Amino acid sequence: LAKTTQPISMDSYEGQEVNITCSHNNIATNDYITWYQQFPSQGPRFIIQGYKTKVTNEVASLFIPADRKSSTLSLPRVSLSDTAVYYCLVGGSNSGYALNFGKGTSLLVTP
C-alpha cells in the first residue's frame, strides 16, 4: 500500500486559500488519490478524487504533478466551517482497497 505523509496541522484565517500537500512516493500505476474531510463526532466525507493533473469541483481543487508522487488539496477562501481534519488516501485495484487513513491534517480556521 502506498504510504502517505501530510502535515499534522495547519492554521489559516478566514478568506484565505489553504493548500494541503500529501506525499505518496510509492504510488502505484493504478492508484487514485482521494481526499476526505472529517468533523468531530462524524464520519469522514469525500471531498475530491483524481488520478493526474488537476481536478476541480464545487468545494476544492486537487493538483497532481506528472510524477504523481505528491498531491495538493486546495481550499479556496476558507471559512470557519472548514475547520476539520483532512485525509489523503492512495489506493487502487493493484494495491488493494484496504483504505487506511493516515493521521490527516488538522486545519484550524480562525477569524
Question: What's the DSSP call for residue 96?
Answer: B
User: Binding another protein by CB under 8 A: which of 42, 66, 67, 110?
Assistant: 42
Q: Which of 9, 30, 57, 79 binds another protein (CB under 8 A)?
A: 30
CA dihedral (43, 87, 10, 73) positive or negative: negative
Strand order of the sheet with strand 105-110?
9-13, 105-110, 84-91, 32-38, 45-50
Q: Would you count residue 29 as binding another protein (CB under 8 A)?
A: no
Residues 52-111 that bind another protein (CB under 8 A): 85, 87, 91-93, 96-104
Residue number with CB closer to another protein (16 or 26): 26
71, 33 Cβ separation under 8 angstroms:
yes
Rule CB under 8 A: which residues touch another protein? 30-32, 34, 36, 41-46, 49, 51, 85, 87, 91-93, 96-104
